[in-house]
């Protein structure tokens, strides 16, 4: 289940009813299906530092016919959000272009759809530019920009499609995967800009590596980047930052976690485990008291269910 949010595009014809109708029409790929030599839809690869903005190009390559429209849905990593969408040079003047965002566990989802009313396109090029902002605290890593898939045949995928010239058929096409790489500038102590101190990498891996928020060497579900922030062992699945004890007494909740010297911790409370936005700090910059930190929270009595998270940093 996800929530749709319409994004207004300046200078482009749009209304909520037509935007949603257009997206759903292309996503469900209504009509018959045309099997031809497969062109390809895909996003380009970019590298961007945290705290900046960039644009992702949705590209059509290997065009072998005339086409009348497209749609594509993909996930942005946490800390990256959609700003706006602009038509690319491949779209003719009589185009319509829409963008929607939806909530997803791993980040923000984006759906874009465009079509022409009279002038189909037939060459390779950029269909649209997707402009995004990268938060200053976005975790470094190489994030694949793959289209969301439905598990159906490639040309009937209800979350990306390429339409024939008259819009009556969905054309067989391939999907290529771009990569959004978030990388900090190299600095003293972090020579490769992955947000992890070289000394920590050498301690645990023997060499300076490219581990990041998209790698998990011990497979414990906590990325190597967050293992660094928590100062846990990235090669031992038993070593991870987690709430190990929790006791409830007279409306107060006491929770404990294993801590590391030199680190500080933030306790967050939320109402929806699937929604990171529902979590807010209830205690910040708690100094480590190794081997175990304990914090007691007295939550308001207005919620029937609450969740807690602990974040650590050097």
Q: What is the pLDDT of residue 118?
A: 85
Q: What is the pLDDT of residue 182?
A: 95
Give the chain's domain count: 3
Q: What is the pLDDT of residue 1?
A: 33
CA–CA distance, 211 with 201 (Å, rounded to integer): 8
Is the same domain home to 251 and 230? no
CA–CA distance, 73 with 245 (Å, rounded to integer): 40
Is the same domain home to 20 and 106? yes
222 vs 84, 192, 293, CA distance in Å? 32, 21, 20
- Identify the domain boundary among 174, 208, 240: 240
Is the same domain home to 16 and 121? yes
CATH of the domain at 273: 2.60.40
Is the same domain home to 83 and 167? yes
Is the same domain home to 101 and 162? yes
pLDDT per residue as tens, the chain (314 positions): 333 333 444 443 333 344 444 444 444 443 443 444 579 999 999 999 999 999 999 999 999 899 999 999 998 998 999 999 999 999 998 899 999 888 766 778 898 999 987 889 999 999 999 999 999 989 999 999 888 754 444 433 457 888 999 888 888 888 888 999 999 999 989 999 999 999 999 999 999 998 999 999 999 888 999 888 887 889 988 787 888 888 998 889 999 988 878 889 999 999 988 787 889 999 999 999 988 899 999 998 877 789 999 988 77
Is the same domain home to 30 and 58? yes
β-strands 169-171, 32-34 pairing: parallel
pTM (2 decimals)? 0.73
**Phi and psi for 18 in degrees, rounded to 5?**
-70, -35
- Identify the domain boundary among 240, 257, 286: 240
Identify the domain containing residue 229 by its residue range: 185-240
Q: What is the pLDDT of residue 251?
A: 87
CATH of the domain at 154: 2.60.40.680
CA atoms within 13 A on the CB side of 223: 17
Is the same domain home to 226 and 306? no
Beta carbons of 178 and 40 less than 8 angstroms apart: no
- The 3 state secondary structure assigned to the chain is CCCEEEECCCCCCCCHHHHHHHHHHHHHCCCEEECCCCCEEEECCEEECCCCEEEEEEEEECCCCCEEEEEEEEEEECCEEEEEEEECCCCCCCEEEEEEEEEECCEEEEEEEEEECCCCECCCEEEEEEEEEECCCCCCEEEEECECCCCCCHHHCCCEEEEECCCCEEECCEEECEEEEECCCCECCECCCCCCCHHHHHHHHCCCCCCCCCCCCCCCCCCHHHHHHHCCCCCCCCCCCCEEEEEEECCEEEEEEECCCCCEEEEEEECCCCCHHHCEEEEEEEECCCCEEEEEECCCCCCCCCEEEEEEEC
Q: What is the pLDDT of residue 190?
A: 94
Is the same domain home to 97 and 222? no
Is the same domain home to 111 and 192? no
CA–CA distance, 240 with 212 (Å, rounded to integer): 16
β-strands 264-270, 160-164 pairing: unpaired
Chain centroid offset of residue 294 CA: 33
CA–CA distance, 251 with 40 (Å, rounded to integer): 57
- Identify the domain boundary among 240, 257, 284: 240
**Phi and psi for 168 in degrees, rounded to 5?**
-90, -10
Q: What is the pLDDT of residue 125?
A: 95
Q: What is the pLDDT of residue 129?
A: 96
CA–CA distance, 158 with 97 (Å, rounded to integer): 18
Q: What is the pLDDT of residue 295?
A: 95
């Amino acid at each position: 289940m996800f929530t749709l949010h319409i994004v207004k595009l300046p200078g482009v014809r749009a209304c909520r009813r037509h935007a949603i109708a257009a997206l759903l029409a292309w996503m469900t790929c209504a009509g018959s299906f045309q099997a031809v030599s497969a062109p390809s839809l895909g996003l380009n690869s970019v590298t961007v530092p945290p705290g900046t903005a960039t644009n992702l190009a949705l590209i059509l390559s290997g065009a072998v016919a005339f086409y009348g429209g497209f749609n594509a849905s993909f996930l942005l990593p946490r800390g990256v959000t959609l700003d706006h969408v602009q038509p690319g040079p491949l779209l003719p003047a009589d185009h319509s272009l829409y963008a929607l965002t939806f909530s997803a566990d791993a980040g923000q989802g984006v759906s874009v759809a465009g079509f022409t009313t009279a002038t189909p396109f037939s060459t390779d090029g950029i269909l649209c530019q997707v402009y995004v902002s990268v938060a200053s605290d976005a975790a470094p890593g190489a994030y694949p920009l793959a289209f969301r898939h439905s598990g159906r045949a490639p040309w009937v995928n209800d979350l990306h499609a390429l339409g024939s010239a008259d819009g009556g058929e969905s054309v067989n096409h391939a999907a290529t995967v771009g990569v959004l790489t978030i990388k900090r500038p190299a600095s003293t102590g972090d020579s490769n800009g992955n947000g992890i101190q070289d000394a920590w990498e050498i301690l645990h891996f023997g060499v300076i590596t490219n581990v990041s928020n998209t790698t998990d060497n011990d497979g414990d579900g906590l990325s190597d980047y967050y293992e660094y922030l928590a100062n846990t062992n990235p090669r031992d699945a038993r070593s991870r930052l987690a709430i190990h004890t929790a006791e409830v007494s007279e409306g107060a909740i006491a929770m404990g976690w294993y801590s590391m010297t030199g680190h500080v911790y933030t306790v967050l409370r939320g109402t929806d485990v699937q929604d990171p936005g529902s979590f807010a700090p209830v205690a910040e910059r708690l100094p480590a008291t190794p081997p175990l930190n304990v914090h007691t929270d007295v939550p308001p009595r207005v919620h029937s269910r609450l969740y807690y998270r602990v974040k650590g940093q050097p």
